[in-house]
Amino acid sequence: MRSGIKQVAEKAGVSIATVSHVINNTRFVSEETKIKVFHVMKELDYRPNSAARSLRSQKSNTIGLIVPVLPSDTSNFFFMMVAQGIQSTLKRHGYHLLLSNNTTEEIEDEKEQIKLFNSKLIDGLIIASIAEDVSYLNDIVASDYPIVFIDRKPSGFSGDYVLADGYGGSYEAVHTFIEKGHRRIGLITGGLGISTSNERLEGYKKALQDNGIPFDSSLIKVSESNFESGYESAKSLLSEHSISALFVANNVLTMGVMRYLQERQMKIPDELAVIGFDDYDWTQLTTPPLTVIRQPSFEIGEKAAEIMINRIEKTDTNYKEYRLPTTLVMRGSC
Amino acid sequence: MRSGIKQVAEKAGVSIATVSHVINNTRFVSEETKIKVFHVMKELDYRPNSAARSLRSQKSNTIGLIVPVLPSDTSNFFFMMVAQGIQSTLKRHGYHLLLSNNTTEEIEDEKEQIKLFNSKLIDGLIIASIAEDVSYLNDIVASDYPIVFIDRKPSGFSGDYVLADGYGGSYEAVHTFIEKGHRRIGLITGGLGISTSNERLEGYKKALQDNGIPFDSSLIKVSESNFESGYESAKSLLSEHSISALFVANNVLTMGVMRYLQERQMKIPDELAVIGFDDYDWTQLTTPPLTVIRQPSFEIGEKAAEIMINRIEKTDTNYKEYRLPTTLVMRGSC
DNA sequence: CTGAAAGCGCTTACAG
DNA sequence: CTGAAAGCGCTTACAG
């Protein structure tokens, strides 16, 4: 039988209050007593029962994470890195990570998971919602329930959010093209209406504008974010228009695009300069290796976790946006 | 203030025992009472306090997962898929997933995490240990602590384990080469001594043997599992020996190898037929698309979770190996 | 410097 | 068919 605090107290000849206080370092205990208690704890291989602790202290010391990842979708990788960032900083602060992911793309499913968590299981929630409008949260959680949003800017509910600077990244990509003399620059992007895609488009536009290049909407292809759509978008864009540079605004699309360009044996960057999105390993494998805009995914996770812990321990007031810079990783395709 | 079972009981005019029993469906309650209770629960937006539940029932309904993933390592993807498989089946059974990952490759770190979990936080542990020999577990956990190992065959501790059939996969790859007429078949593999690498080598050997091809150890390169080593191994193997086919026994090495082959503008499969390991998205992006041995990662996770739940709920006795078949995904490189 | 005791919110024998 | 009550293992005022 596993020993509890009572056994430790008895064997050490002190009260359970004292044992508790040496464990939590929560009031003065004489050095002598401390040593005795620690010794007995080791001897009995005592581990505090976390359920009892949570129940009594109203604190679970665990954070929930909900991310939308479809099985075998490449975008997994992004959230995986985010999760790692979260985990590593939570661990440093003595928190645990409870993971849930949305394999359906249903908002109902998301709600269900939040409710499941909302039973004193977690002290706070980090979520990459599939919805932009998260006002449904108002009905589900208390107003002081700590929530940190990641990847997208939420609307309809107040909370901190941390995301990559897609606007800046996109701007930098296009600006780089322009500096190299390109003026007809294509853009292939995922569906608009979500903040990530929107701001990448804005960055593209702004870079053109700042350099006196007129915006030509026919050089833009908006498509679903999957391999095939990327492939098809590249195909139709290149057959309909002559462009000398192409910016692809997300990673799955980048794969599809590259497949097409390789099939067509397009000379990169001479015939077409290319910048992709996300610095995945495979981008080093194309010929030439791909220049990309890197999102600081691990760092997003770290930041989100830090914010979360601050919220819980400090009870701050106003919510903020945390926008982490992307970086241009120069390789051979541009 | 959040309402508890007491408030529900009062408002419904029943005892808390009855409320508990309707929640858990654990003894007969009249239909009428049930309806009343459910109604009040909805009205008060009641959610059972999971800490109280765990404390009382000695069951947390959560499973811990420890995986070794280094930041930005491609092998992440494998464990990510495993984790998804685990998560999706746990969810179906009403369990939660507590995730921890080892970013150092230190066994001490792993122990630390296990101890952290071993405080009634979890009902069972699924682990991809960095060590082959997990006898250290004997000192840390009780003998009836449910543990399911994944990816590698553990030694020094009894437990179920589920892994991909690397032996069979390797055999199939080499056999496929042979059927196509190849006789000089190279192998590039990660460091031996761990069961995954070992059995892939064994599969290679057996396939040769079954087809009367003498084993030539000079056609084998053992190297560290990283991009550069893959690159270098391919380089030296191809410069020292003439081979017509090459099997690369893990995914990171496959990337490095492909990079080299592309740089050298090797004609695949005519000059060299290639089969890689793991069906990652990028394998469709090489020229030609890569034929690979696919590991059923998601399925490994599902299986591990199922086994775990059975262990917890049934208390079975003897431990088993679960070996899931790999599949050859035929594409253009062979 | 330390202890006795209440109580966190449930589940579950026991009893009728 | 249902209730009263013990108790899971802690933390934390209260008291001295």
Place of tokens 């410069």: B239
Beta-carbon separation of A71 and B84 below 8 A:
yes
Place of tokens 């029943």: B14
Rounded Cα–Cα distance for residues B36 and B14 (Å): 9
In the CATH hierarchy, which fold is given to the domain comprising B5-48?
A: 434 Repressor (Amino-terminal Domain) (1.10.260)
Contact predicate A248/A276, CB 8 Å: yes
Q: Is A62 in the B-facing interface, judged by CB distances under 8 Å?
A: yes
pLDDT at B1: 53
**Secondary structure, 3-state, chain B:** CCCCHHHHHHHHCCCHHHHHHHHHCCCCCCHHHHHHHHHHHHHHCCCCCHHHHHHHHCCCCEEEEEECCCCCCCCHHHHHHHHHHHHHHHHHCCCEEEEEECCCCCHHHHHHHHHHHCCCCCCEEEECCCCCECCCHHHHCCCCCCEEEECCCCECCCCEEEEECHHHHHHHHHHHHHHCCCCCEEEEEECCCCHHHHHHHHHHHHHHHHCCCCCCHHHEEEECCCHHHHHHHHHHHHHHCCCCEEEECCHHHHHHHHHHHHHCCCCCCCCCEEEEECCCHHHHCCCCCCEEEECCHHHHHHHHHHHHHHHHHHCCCCCCEEEECCEEECCCCC
Fold matches, B5-48 and B62-159: no
Beta-carbon separation of B96 and A286 below 8 A:
no
Rounded Cα–Cα distance for residues A27 and A24 (Å): 8
pLDDT tens digits, one per residue of A208-220: 999 999 999 999 9
What is the spatial distance, in angstroms and rounded to an integer, between the CA atom of A86 and the C1' atom of D8?
Answer: 32
pLDDT tops 60 at residue A1: no
* Tokens encoding B218: 């000079």
The residue among A215, A250, A244, A211 whose CA lies nearest residue A230 is A250
pLDDT tens digits, one per residue of A35-86: 999 999 999 999 999 999 999 999 999 999 999 887 656 667 888 889 999 9
pLDDT at A261: 93
**CA triple B303-B305-B308, angle to 5 deg:** 110
pLDDT band of residue A160 (cuts 50, 70, 90) is: very high
Beta-carbon separation of B71 and A98 below 8 A:
no
> What percent of chain A shows pLDDT beyond 70?
97
Q: Is B114 in the A-facing interface, judged by CB distances under 8 Å?
A: no
Name the DSSP letter for residue A238. H
Residue A121, CB, less than 7 Å from strand C? no
pLDDT at B191: 86
Beta-carbon separation of A69 and B51 below 8 A:
no
Q: How far is CA B271 from the centre of its chain?
A: 35
Structurally, at CATH architecture level, domain B62-159 sits in 3-Layer(aba) Sandwich (3.40)
Rounded Cα–Cα distance for residues A257 and A290 (Å): 12
Top pLDDT among B283 and A168 is at A168
Interface of B with A in 219-248 (CB under 8 A): 227
Residue B27, CB, less than 7 Å from strand D? yes
* Tokens encoding B92: 């179906």
Give the residue nearest to nucleotide D5 (CA to C1'): B17
pLDDT at A188: 97
Q: Spell out the per-residue pLDDT of chain B, length 334, in tens.
A: 577 899 999 899 999 999 999 999 998 998 889 999 999 999 999 999 999 999 999 999 999 999 988 765 666 788 888 999 999 999 999 999 999 988 777 889 899 899 989 888 999 999 999 888 999 999 888 878 899 999 989 999 989 999 999 999 999 999 999 999 999 999 999 988 888 999 999 999 999 999 999 999 999 999 998 889 999 999 999 999 899 999 999 998 999 999 999 889 899 999 999 999 999 888 888 888 999 999 999 999 999 999 999 988 876 668 899 999 999 999 999 8
**CA triple B278-A227-A178, angle to 5 deg:** 115
- Average pLDDT (A97-113) is 88
Structurally, at CATH architecture level, domain A62-165+298-327 sits in 3-Layer(aba) Sandwich (3.40)
In the CATH hierarchy, which fold is given to the domain comprising A167-294?
A: Rossmann fold (3.40.50)
Range A20-27, long-range pairs (CB < 8 A, 24+ positions): A23/A48
pLDDT at A179: 96
Which residue in B has a C-alpha nearest to residue A79's C-alpha?
Answer: B80
Please, which positions of strand C sit below 7 A from a protein CB? Answer: 1-5, 7-13
pLDDT tens digits, one per residue of A265-284: 899 999 999 999 999 888 88
Sequence spans of domains, chain A: 5-48, 62-165+298-327, 167-294
The residue among A122, A275, A119, A268 whose CA lies nearest residue A186 is A275
Rounded Cα–Cα distance for residues A210 and A233 (Å): 27
The residue among A163, A161, A135 whose CA lies nearest residue A146 is A161
Beta-carbon separation of B91 and A100 below 8 A:
yes
pLDDT at A75: 64
- A105-109, A136-140, A276-280: which has the minimum mean pLDDT? A105-109
Q: Mention every residue, 6+ apart, whose C-beta is less than 8 A from residue B118.
A: A47, B140, B141, B145
Q: Which of these CATH numbers, 3.30.70.100, 3.30.505.50, 3.40.50.2300, 1.10.1040.10, describes B166-294?
A: 3.40.50.2300
Contact predicate A237/A187, CB 8 Å: no
Contact predicate A310/B283, CB 8 Å: no
pLDDT tops 80 at residue A243: yes
β-pair partners for A185: A245
Inter-CA distances, B152 with B110, B115, B301, Å: 15, 21, 13
Contact predicate B269/B297, CB 8 Å: no
Rounded Cα–Cα distance for residues B241 and A297 (Å): 42
pLDDT at B71: 65
β-pair partners for A65: A99, A126
